[in-house]
């Protein structure tokens, strides 16, 4: 598997993965809008020349906010999400980002465990942060000390 920065040609495939994983997925147009932002960085996981997962982060000076991490449904549970998150963390540290933030659905045990293994700690609960279905969000962060 290869982890690389997302390219324009990946957007349609990433939108498909997004639709498999989220009740309110980003569309290809929404992804393109974020992809074009100077403060955004997206990474894709590629297996056999096919994008099988992606993650994104918005950067503000020395902090980053992870937007989404998603893996094709049929490929979940194989460590792809973990590799994506680790590659993104490494890239952010190289870029001088010292703190990463994210929100995750309270019910998403697999994602919460993945983030905890990557060094994220729970900060607080955001009541009814998600809609469709309405659910609390767990705010987590990871600090990197030089």
CA dist 80 and 86 (Å) reads: 10
pTM equals 0.90
Tokens 């659905």 locate to 105
E strand segments, the chain: 2-5, 40-47, 50-60, 63-71, 99-105, 121-130, 135-143
Dihedrals phi, psi of 6, to nearest 5 degrees: -70, 145
Structural tokens at position 81: 């999400």
- Where are the domains positioned within the chain? 2-143
* CB-side neighbour CA atoms (13 Å) of 87: 23
- β-partners of residue 126 are 137
Q: Provide the annotated active-site residues.
A: 103, 115
pLDDT tens-place values along the chain, 146 residues long: 999 999 999 999 999 999 999 888 899 999 999 999 999 999 999 999 999 999 999 999 999 999 999 999 999 999 999 999 999 999 999 999 999 999 999 999 999 999 999 999 999 999 988 887 889 999 999 998 65
Q: Could you tell me the CATH superfamily of domain 2-143?
A: Gcn5-related N-acetyltransferase (GNAT) (3.40.630.30)
Pairing between β-strand 63-71 and β-strand 50-60 as defined by DSSP bridges? antiparallel
């Amino acid at each position: 598997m290869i982890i690389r920065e997302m390219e324009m040609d990946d957007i349609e495939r990433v939108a498909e993965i997004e639709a498999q994983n989220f009740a309110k997925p980003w569309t290809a147009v929404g992804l393109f809008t974020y992809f074009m932002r100077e403060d955004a960085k997206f990474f894709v996981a590629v297996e056999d020349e096919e994008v099988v997962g992606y993650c994104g982060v918005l950067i503000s000076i020395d902090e980053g906010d992870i937007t989404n991490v998603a893996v094709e449904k049929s490929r979940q549970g194989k460590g792809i999400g973990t590799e994506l998150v680790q590659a993104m963390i490494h890239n952010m540290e190289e870029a001088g980002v010292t703190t990463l933030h994210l929100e995750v659905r309270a019910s998403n045990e697999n994602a919460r465990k993945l983030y905890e293994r990557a060094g994220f700690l729970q900060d607080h609960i955001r009541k009814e942060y998600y809609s469709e279905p309405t659910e609390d969000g767990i705010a987590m962060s990871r600090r990197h000390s030089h």
